[in-house]
Amino acid sequence: MKKIFPKSLKKGDKIAIISPAGAVEQSQLEKGINMIKSKGFEPVLGEHLYTKFSNGYNYAGTEEQRTKDINWALNDPQITAIWASRGGYGCQHLVEKLNLKGFAKNPKWYIGYSDNTVIQSYLLKKGFASIHGQTIKTSSFGVTDESYDLIFNILKGKALKYTLKSNQFNKDGNVEGELVGGNLALIYALLGTKYSFDFKDKILFIEDIGENFYALDRMMMSLEMAGVFTKIKGLVIGGMTNMGDEKENKQYEESFDEFAYQLISERISKYQFPVVFGFPNGHIHNNIPLIIGADVSLQSGKNVSLTFK
């Protein structure tokens, strides 16, 4: 399926801000909303952006309210991009209720990460690229200006090329393919469903936060048993933040958790595809954006790079 990339934005265009998953406070979005204005765009707030609904988790509204907001943003012809306020949990509630009738006529960038991986997997199944990048909410570990500036570069139609430091766990090789993936827990949660990514001949990106090491291994085992590692052409690993038991494993509370990387490296050791560890995307301070659905060139060796075509 040929991938559809939304058109570039121009000054004055409207960007919808919605909360498809966890609840968020107004004060947590003020900086991001002002940033959108400063870049010359008009933020348009979803009706239930600041709604709270507690049902075992603090959601940004009921399933019906969150569905209403995302379908409004997807289909309103005046909206040119959609930016998630945050992740958390809840996007799986919406995926079977999404309406792309208007969106298909007027594709727009969807921006988010973490739980938003579910929405991005859905869009890619329908043939639409999206931006796996920083949400509007600033997290406890902060957000760099570069993280946002690069998103605006994508919105303006500029190409991406990243050069990286080599990592001890990398596996050498050069490969080209379509980039898929996002948050590992959600990739794992979608396995076996019709909303799962198609992994054949793809370059897979994964990142995660707050998982016990055994849970990380369990997810990697599930990907292996599902045949994912026999299908992909390359693997990129981003942030692995606050992994393991935080009280007992303080030495591993880094964005690029070395023990998590070791576990991943061991799990994929028998496969021959190139692997790049330490990509700056995920639940980390410098969360630079990726384009899910884009064709990329991955180089792993003395020189490490990810180039978007």
Residues annotated as catalytic are: 114, 207, 283
**Are the beta carbons of 83 and 16 closer than 8 angstroms?**
yes
**Are the beta carbons of 262 and 256 closer than 8 angstroms?**
no
Between helix 213-225 and helix 258-267 the angle, nearest 10°, is 20
**Are the beta carbons of 81 and 73 closer than 8 angstroms?**
no
Task: Name residue 305's beta-bridge partners.
Answer: 163, 299
- Look up residue 251 and give its two tokens: 């030495």
CA 245 to chain centre: 24
Residue among 32, 44, 48 at smallest CA distance from 78: 44
- Look up residue 85 and give its two tokens: 């306020």
